[in-house]
Amino acid sequence: MNLFDPSSDRGNASKRVETNVKQDAYHDEDYDLVRRIAGGDRAAMRDLFTRHHGRVFRFIARQAGSQTLADDVANEVFIEVWRAASSFEGRSKVTTWLFSIARFKTLSALRKRTTETLDDGASERIEDDADTPEVSAQKTSKANALRTAVNSLQEEHRTVIDLIYYHEKPVREVAQILAIPEATVKTRMFYARRKIGEFLNDAGIDRGWP
Amino acid sequence: MSDNGMSRRDEVEMLLPFYESGDLDGEELAIVEEWLADNPEGQAALEAIQAERATVEAANDNIVPPVDALKRFEQALDQEIAAPQMAVKASVSTSGNWLERLLPAWLIPAPATAMALSALLVAALVGQTVYYSNGTGGIELAGEQGAAPEGTRLIIVFKPDAAMGAISAALKQADAIIVSGPKAAGLYEVVVRDREAETLQSRIDALTKDASVQLVQPMKQGEAQ
């Protein structure tokens, strides 16, 4: 799944440089697509959608706990790109721009939504939340307990974890997407991991430090 | 203890995920590398992070977008293109900022929901402008280099129809900086710097009365996050 970093050896400096070059090329293609979209090129819009819809959709779905809502909001995000492409100045990566639009559209949609029925994914997550750590430990393996711990995080913590672990965004970009200071990104990650550790400890699972 | 009140162990714990992802350099990288060299439990800590990463990746990969998403998007795009009046509204602008250009369209669902919705919209607007206008005369956002500045902390709600330039000018005039937000109902936490103490109160008063500001509330001690 790792789109930008084909190397699994994170300590290898040369591979990291090579990866950065590939990332730069990928982002250059994104910039070119947005430039073409600004000129009304529908094929470029289709290409950008195909490249990024999956990640945008998941980002929204994880925040909202609803794939139904994610479907609508993701569409709105790309419509917004179509409208605003000519104003994109390229000061950030296109993906960071996309995610920041998605973030605010998701928050807006969540506030407007009052009675929407939760879909299966959200219901499943709430069930997980309802389990005590002891019960979870009895019925799940360590891996499942970790999954439950991650899914039971508060939204703001889960979103930071997703952006860093799954979307592989550096601190600076996470700060831009969420419109929060970089220091807050780090502290949210810190407390998110503390919560995971506490959950596992309560479930009788020792993963060592921290 | 470090400058931020954390123990060295907490500081390393905070930095480890970013070390693991290759997002550290300079002093922070040196702190972690030094700690790892002295602490054998470091490897287990990194393995715990890798397990978390794998779990998060699996949770995300389990979410499968609809197969007809592109088709439905193209239908939505057809409607968007066929609605020129919407595009005209969206292109009304007083500056080059992309979200400013969207504001009229976003504010269309006016009277009934305006108050609740517009606060959020302004919140989104400000957040985006922080992001796109930094360093070019837009709104300043605290924390890019670390801790928030010293000063008087306020909670502010900007008026729903406040223009981006007006908000930016008001904050600049008051020597104020957004340190967090938007929170529920579009609340922002703002610090008015106290480096010119004799003018502090007058700057707060001016900010309170500014046409772009709907509400200013002083924060109590210990209320800041």
What CATH number does the domain containing A182 carry?
Answer: 1.10.10.10
What is the domain extent for residue A68? 1-116
| Residue B40 in this model has a pLDDT that exceeds 80 | yes
**Mean pLDDT for chain B overall:** 72
Mean pLDDT, residues A81-110 taken together:
93
Task: Provide DSSP, B155-169.
Answer: EEEE-TT--HHHHHH
**Domain edge (last residue) among A74, A90, A116:** A116
3-state DSSP helix/strand/coil percent for chain A, to nearest 5? 75, 0, 25
**Residue A140: predicted pLDDT:** 56
Mean pLDDT, residues B69-80 taken together:
94
Q: Which of A9, A89, A180 to probe by mutation at the B interface, max B CB count within 10 Å?
A: A180
Give the E-state strand segments of B166-206 in sequence order.
176-180, 188-193
The interface residues of chain B toward chain A in range 183-212, judged by CB-CB distance below 8 A, are none
**Residue A1: predicted pLDDT:** 33
Backbone torsions φ then ψ of A85, nearest 5 degrees: -55, -35
| Residue B42 in this model has a pLDDT that exceeds 90 | no
A178 and A76 in a common domain: no
| Residue A194 in this model has a pLDDT that exceeds 60 | yes
Closest Cβ opposite residue B102 in set A75, A83, A111: A83
Q: Is the peptide bond before A210 cis (omega within 30 degrees of 0)?
A: yes
A110 and A135 in a common domain: no
The interface residues of chain A toward chain B in range 26-55, judged by CB-CB distance below 8 A, are 42, 45-46, 49-50, 53-54
Q: Cα–Cα distance between A72 and B221 in angstroms, integer?
A: 42
A111 and A174 in a common domain: no
**Residue B106: predicted pLDDT:** 41
**Residue B153: predicted pLDDT:** 86
Helix (H) or strand (E) holding B215: strand B213-218
The more confident residue out of B45 and B4 is B45
Please check whether the domain covering B123-218 is classified as CATH 3.30.70: yes
| Residue A150 in this model has a pLDDT that exceeds 70 | yes
Residue A125 covered by a domain: no
**Residue A171: predicted pLDDT:** 95
A89 and A34 in a common domain: yes
Q: Are B193 and B176 in contact (CB under 8 A)?
A: yes
Q: Is the peptide bond before B182 cis (omega within 30 degrees of 0)?
A: yes
Q: Which of B163, B77, B176, B58 lies closest to B121, judged by CA?
A: B163
**Residue A3: predicted pLDDT:** 33
The more confident residue out of A206 and B182 is A206
**Residue B225: predicted pLDDT:** 43
**Residue B154: predicted pLDDT:** 87
Mean pLDDT, residues A122-150 taken together:
63
**Residue A134: predicted pLDDT:** 59
A143 and A207 in a common domain: yes
Q: What percentage of chain A has pLDDT greater than the value 90?
A: 59
**Domain edge (last residue) among A116, A144, A172:** A116
Across the strands, what pairs with B158?
Answer: B213
| Confidence category of residue B102, pLDDT binned at 50, 70, 90 | very low
Phi-psi region of A132 (alpha: psi -120 to 50; beta: other; left: phi over 0): beta
The interface residues of chain B toward chain A in range 137-156, judged by CB-CB distance below 8 A, are 141-148
Residue type, B19: Y
Identify the weakest region by mean pLDDT among A89-93, B201-205, B218-222.
B218-222
**Residue B147: predicted pLDDT:** 56
Complex ipTM over 0.85 = no
The contacts of residue A123 (CB under 8 Å, 6+ apart) are none
Closest Cβ opposite residue B55 in set A80, A108, A150: A150
Mean pLDDT, residues A79-104 taken together:
93
| Residue B138 in this model has a pLDDT that exceeds 50 | no
| Residue B26 in this model has a pLDDT that exceeds 80 | yes
Q: Are B103 and B121 in contact (CB under 8 A)?
A: yes
| Confidence category of residue B197, pLDDT binned at 50, 70, 90 | confident
What residue ranges do the domains of chain B occupy?
A: 8-61, 70-109, 123-218
